[in-house]
Amino acid sequence: MRIHVLGSAAGGGFPQWNCGCTNCVGLRAGTIAAAARTQASVALSDNEGHWFLIHATPEISAQLASFAPLHPRAIRDSPLAGIILTNADLDQWLGLLSLRESQPLHVYATDSVRHAVTKDNRWYRALHRTPGQVTWHELKLHGSQPLLTADQRSTQLVVTTIPIPGKVPLYLEDDVKPHIEDNVALLVSEMGGGPCLGYAPSVGAPDPEIERIVELADCLFFDGTFWSNDELLALGIGAKTACDMAHWPLGGKNGSLAMLARSSSRRIVIHINNTNPILRDDSPERRQLKQAGVEVAYDGMEIVL
């Protein structure tokens, strides 16, 4: 399995267009040791070159352009076999609307995520220029299913879907009740065994399922949105804590880093908010990650499992 990180930041990216925090200002000025990042998305392929994206971000066009294996092979012939969504936040799926050039799309998501994206969404009709342009594949909780080639044959990759603490997307908070399918983690492995990739970019709170994913994954991408629970409050940005936003912060006695530190497999944080001090290569918080053996995802990161 080959994994290529197309984007590693949380919604808004790094720097974020309207943000004057120390990180964003320092990155623009070139005065901090940090790299720009686009919104979190990972491309993965089996050994036969069938490519899948986890997330379709608002920056998908640039992200696809940045990686030659995702360039078209012939006229109107994308190597992209499918797109997988782990929740229905806009930074995860808004890029679908940028893929409306009559290319058949295969999208893997839970029913609850599919509803959030498609129901009462008149812009979604832009993805129905041709009959059957989008095919949804239901991710069943606790189920394992093969990822399919563009012509619907099984690839060697099997995905297992695990519900984890999360929340409904912001834009639906007043409309829909929370549902167990709102936010999932993925385990991806090759048929018949072999190393296992874990993907959990939005983790709302500690949970036994999280412990199990950490245990099972040989390489795990994990929620690195915030370092501290009051990160935004301390900067005077809004009134929400990290936990209010369903992102378990990394730092502190009860932070996710303490849990990640107990594992000996490869652990990489992703979906990093622009305010997070771990974005600076030389910050004390970054040093704590390093001491725990936890890596920080960056755009262009390559992993072969």
* 201 is a site residue for Mn ion (CB under 5 A): no
Closest CA relative to residue 85, chosen from 112, 106, 55, 60: 55
| Cβ-based nearer residue to ligand MLT, 91 or 231 | 91
Residue 14 Cβ vs Mn ion, minimum distance, rounded to whole Å: 13
* 91 is a site residue for Mn ion (CB under 5 A): yes
Cβ neighbourhood burial of 50 (10 Å; 0-12, 13-18, 19+): buried
Cβ neighbourhood burial of 79 (10 Å; 0-12, 13-18, 19+): middle
* 46 is a site residue for ligand MLT (CB under 6 A): no
Which residues inside 240-259 make contact with ligand MLT, applying CB under 6 A? Answer: 245
DSSP result, 216-255: H-SEEEEE-S-SSTTHHHHTT--S--TTTTT---SSSTTS
| Cβ-based nearer residue to Zn ion, 24 or 70 | 24
Which residues inside 60-89 make contact with Mn ion, applying CB under 5 A? Answer: 89
Query: What is the sign of the dihedral through the CA atoms of 274, 275, 280 and 286?
Result: negative
| Cβ-based nearer residue to Mn ion, 41 or 118 | 41
**Cα 303 to Cα 280: distance, rounded to the nearest angstrom:** 22
* 170 is a site residue for ligand MLT (CB under 6 A): yes
The site partner of 24 among ligand MLT, Mn ion, Zn ion, none (C-beta below 5 to 8 Å per kind) is Zn ion
Report the residue closest to Mn ion, judged by CB: 11
* 10 is a site residue for ligand MLT (CB under 6 A): yes
- Positions touching Zn ion (CB under 5 A) are 16, 19, 21, 24, 274
Question: Are the C-beta atoms of 187 and 162 separated by less than 8 Å?
Answer: yes
**Dihedrals φ, ψ of 77, to 5°?**
-140, 90
* 150 is a site residue for ligand MLT (CB under 6 A): no
* 91 is a site residue for ligand MLT (CB under 6 A): yes
The site partner of 113 among ligand MLT, Zn ion, Mn ion, none (C-beta below 5 to 8 Å per kind) is none
**Cα 176 to Cα 160: distance, rounded to the nearest angstrom:** 26
From the list 28-36, 54-62, 84-92, 101-109, the region that binds ligand MLT by CB under 6 A is 84-92
* 59 is a site residue for Mn ion (CB under 5 A): no
Joined tokens for residue 280: 């600076």
Cα maximum dimension of the chain: 54
From the list 66-74, 88-96, 119-127, 250-258, the region that binds ligand MLT by CB under 6 A is 88-96
Residue 27 Cβ vs Zn ion, minimum distance, rounded to whole Å: 8
* 59 is a site residue for ligand MLT (CB under 6 A): no
- List residues bridging with 154 in a β-sheet: 148
- List residues bridging with 193 in a β-sheet: 190
Query: What is the sign of the dihedral through the CA atoms of 272, 274, 280 and 285?
Result: negative
Residue 145 Cβ vs Mn ion, minimum distance, rounded to whole Å: 25
Q: For binding to Mn ion (CB under 5 A), which residues are involved?
A: 10-11, 89, 91
Q: For binding to ligand MLT (CB under 6 A), which residues are involved?
A: 10-11, 89-91, 169-170, 202, 245
